[in-house]
Amino acid sequence: MKPLNKNYFILALASVTFLIHLYGILFGGFSYFRDELYYLESTRHLDFGYVDHPPLSIWLLWLITSIFGDSVAVIRMVPALLSSVVVFISCKTAEKIGGGSFAVFLTALSITFMPIFMGMNTVYSMNFIDYFLLGTSNLSGY
């Protein structure tokens, strides 16, 4: 029997993270978070300098809402996708430093169900971009 390719295993673990977020988006029954409404309003007044939030996140939200609309599901799909990318990168990092399948699985489990990670990546906020940029800073060796 052929051994399991770790890349498929890691991709499956990252997909589980996305599916958990997707379930919350589609069946959670939550409306807009108050900050999401503020960010949506900020997309109507684009600028490169804001006092209380960075411009990249607002420009990203403007791009997404211009293409796909401004429904709750569309807005929250971005953090869901990026959180699964963070899990993928973290698992690849665990693999790169010599971890086996169990270490990769434990990494995915730990990050996916970390309360602060789930909380910050469930709604469109400034913080999910921080997790993503911090995670991608480790990509130089891949």
Tokens 């959670």 correspond to 28
Q: pTM of the predicted model, to two decimals?
A: 0.82
Mean pLDDT for 12-30 is 84
Mean pLDDT for 89-96 is 88
CA angle, corner 45, sides to 41 and 49, nearest 5?
Answer: 110
Give the whole-angstrom CA distance, residue 124 versus residue 105: 27
Which DSSP string do the residues of 10-75 spell out, in sequence order? HHHHHHHHHHHHHHHHHHS-----HHHHHHHHHTTS--S--SSS-HHHHHHHHHHHHHH---HHHH
Q: Does 108 score more than 70 pLDDT?
A: yes
pLDDT at residue number 61: 92
Q: How confident is the model at residue 136 (pLDDT cuts 50, 70, 90)?
A: low
Q: Does 2 score more than 60 pLDDT?
A: no
pLDDT at residue number 140: 53
Mean pLDDT for 38-55 is 84
Give the whole-angstrom CA distance, residue 132 versus residue 142: 16
Q: Does 82 score more than 80 pLDDT?
A: yes
Per the model's pLDDT, the better-predicted residue between 52 and 62 turns out to be: 62
* Residue 42 CA to its chain's centroid (Å): 21
Q: Does 1 score more than 50 pLDDT?
A: no
Give the whole-angstrom CA distance, residue 102 versus residue 40: 41
Max Cα distance, the chain (Å): 59
Mean pLDDT for 86-92 is 89
